């Protein structure tokens, strides 16, 4: 006959264990669905409360079966008791790993991890051996649980790990927030306080009550701390997003973006676009009238990405435009801008530039290339082709560099296309580059297209090629079609 009797102590124990099971279940549900925790913290608490459930559930099963005769019951008792001890050891190990995770003693972390794991493995082996040797506990002829002479060994692993936890809490106390440090101390002290109180309440399983209560309190504190960090990070991310959005608007406002750009100048048509890889980019284009008969064109790419490149880009753009509008030749302008940008360039940024000045009435132009991509030229009735020539060094690399100029001439119906390396280096999912050959193919799909359609054709070609792969570089393009004055046609 089952020796379990409905006493006040047993009823209290069942209520405590049932409440513990419910609370642990709710905590697992909360950390799995409701709490805003990191993946690592979520997995930890799922496993931790799973072990608490196993611990108190196996204890309840042992209590219900204890004293019932029969070999089958005996095997079940041995099994659930072993699970109870193993779950207890795993709980101690997980708490120690959590303490180590928060403390992060960099130089000694691996040592502590190995020490905790080694202690857990030795403990598990000891408890398995105990099933066959009655070292720590045994069941008598009536299947009643009894402590053996070596019962102390069943607690040595917990004591070792808790002592190390105490060392971590004291040695690296500055790495714990006050409330987390308090929660850890409560979890360490609660079982010992329960053992002391057990002397006055022998029939009530205060150790289970203390373990569950301390575990829940500790998890609530850590989850609250994690959620507050999440809210701060979310607030910071939101603020940075707003600031980056503002930076994007400011950057976009610095570039010509109203088209048609020169509605009162029928001699030419120009269109440009920039698609940054991030919220703000380092590419820029520019076109502007130097005087009534000359137009300046600029295509440039700052090294780096993000806000630093964008700030450098805005300075470079203003300087280039200012020097060209002051009447300097393209080579002189780049040389002077290079010297100015080299001053105080502690970030080591540089900018590749293609710049040209074209006489509107004749189509004659002068260009300089500071380490930039080769331009593409289409003669009237022909195909777009690369114009290859020797580059000068990029701007802002070294003071005193001369920039070579070269001359060219546009005839009515000719088109000029310039771009940054983000076009040719657009990459698909297999890390294959779009390349200049595919770029030329896209340009020549409709070589007679107006500049806006030319850029659209190239962007369509890029999108078809990359097929949704992430964009890693800014994509900037400019196309000018020379129509002429009628006198040179």
**Pair (121, 172) in one structural domain:** yes
Do 37 and 73 fall within a single domain?
Answer: yes
User: Buried b vs exposed e over 209-235: b needs ≥16 C-beta within 10 Å?
Assistant: bbbbbbbbebbebbbebbeeeeeeeee
pLDDT of residue 410 exceeding 90, the answer is: yes
Could you report the per-residue pLDDT of 320-360, keeping only the tens digit for each? 999 999 999 999 999 999 999 998 888 889 999 999 999 99
pLDDT tens figures, 47-90: 888 888 888 888 888 878 888 888 899 899 999 999 989 998 89
Count up the domains in the chain and report the number: 2
Tell me, yes or no, whether 461 and 383 share the same domain: yes
Q: Can you give 260-279 as a three-state secondary structure string?
A: CCCCCCCCEEEEEEEECCCC
The answer, yes or no, to whether residue 200 has pLDDT greater than 80, is no
Specify the DSSP element, H or E, that contains 417. strand 415-419
Axis crossing angle, helix 206-254 with helix 71-103, rounded to the nearest 10: 40
What's the whole-number mean pLDDT along residues 471-489? 82
Answer yes or no: do 262 and 203 share one domain. no
179: containing domain: 8-234
269 and 415 both lie in a single domain:
yes
> Domain containing 169 — which CATH number?
1.20.1070.10
In a domain, 489, yes or no: no
Whether residue 265 sits in one domain with residue 214: no
Domain presence at residue 2: no
Assess whether 227 and 275 both reside in one domain: no
* Distance from C-alpha of 173 to C-alpha of 213, rounded to nearest angstrom: 23
Nearest to 49 by CA among 99, 13, 95: 95
Instruction: Determine, yes or no, domain membership for 354.
Output: yes
**Residue 107 gets which letter from DSSP?**
G
SS3 350: coil
Contact yes or no for 123/130 (Cβ under 8 A): no
């Amino acid at each position: 006959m089952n020796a379990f009797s409905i006493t006040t102590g047993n009823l209290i124990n069942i209520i405590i264990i049932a409440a513990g099971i419910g609370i642990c279940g709710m905590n697992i549900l909360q950390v799995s669905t409701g709490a805003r925790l990191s993946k690592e913290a979520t997995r930890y608490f799922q496993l931790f409360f799973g072990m608490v459930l196993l611990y108190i559930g196996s204890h309840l099963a042992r209590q219900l079966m204890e004293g019932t005769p029969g070999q089958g019951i005996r095997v079940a008792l041995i099994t659930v008791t072993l699970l109870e001890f193993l779950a207890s050891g795993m709980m101690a190990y997980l708490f120690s790993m959590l303490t180590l995770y928060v403390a992060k003693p960099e130089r000694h972390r691996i040592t502590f991890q190995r020490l905790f794991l080694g202690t857990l493995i030795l403990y598990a082996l000891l408890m398995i051996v105990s099933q066959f040797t009655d070292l720590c506990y045994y069941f008598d002829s009536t299947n009643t649980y009894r402590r053996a002479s070596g019962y102390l060994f069943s607690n040595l692993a917990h004591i070792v790990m808790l002592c190390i936890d105490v060392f971590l809490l004291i040695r690296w106390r500055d790495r714990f927030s006050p409330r987390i440090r308090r929660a850890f101390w409560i979890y360490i002290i609660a079982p010992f306080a329960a053992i002391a109180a057990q002397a006055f309440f022998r029939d009530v399983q205060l150790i289970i009550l203390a373990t569950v209560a301390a575990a829940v309190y500790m998890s609530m504190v850590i989850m609250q701390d994690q959620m507050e960090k999440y809210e701060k990070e979310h607030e910071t991310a939101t603020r940075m997003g707003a600031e980056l959005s503002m930076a994007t608007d400011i950057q976009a406002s610095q570039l010509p973006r109203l088209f048609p750009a020169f509605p009162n100048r029928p001699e030419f048509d120009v269109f440009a676009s920039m698609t940054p890889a991030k919220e703000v980019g380092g590419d820029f284009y520019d076109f502007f009238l130097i005087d009534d008969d000359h137009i300046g064109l600029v295509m440039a790419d700052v090294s780096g990405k993000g806000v630093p490149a964008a700030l450098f880009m805005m300075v470079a753009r203003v300087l280039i435009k200012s020097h060209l509008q002051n009447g300097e030749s393209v080579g002189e302008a780049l040389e002077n801008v290079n010297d100015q940008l080299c001053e105080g360039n502690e970030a080591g940024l540089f900018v590749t530039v293609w710049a040209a000045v074209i006489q509107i009435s004749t189509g004659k132009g002068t260009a300089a290339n500071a380490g930039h991509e080769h331009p593409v030229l289409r003669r009237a009735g022909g195909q777009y082709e690369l114009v290859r020539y020797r580059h000068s060094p990029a701007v802002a690399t070294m003071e005193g560099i001369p920039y070579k100029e070269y001359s060219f001439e546009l005839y009515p119906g000719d088109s000029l296309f310039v771009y940054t390396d983000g076009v040719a280096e657009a990459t698909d999912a297999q890390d294959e580059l779009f390349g200049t050959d595919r770029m030329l193919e896209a340009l020549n799909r409709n070589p007679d297209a107006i500049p806006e359609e030319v850029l659209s054709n190239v962007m369509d070609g890029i999108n078809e090629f990359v097929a949704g792969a992430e964009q890693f570089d800014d994509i900037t393009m400019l196309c000018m079609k020379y129509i002429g004055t009628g006198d040179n046609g």
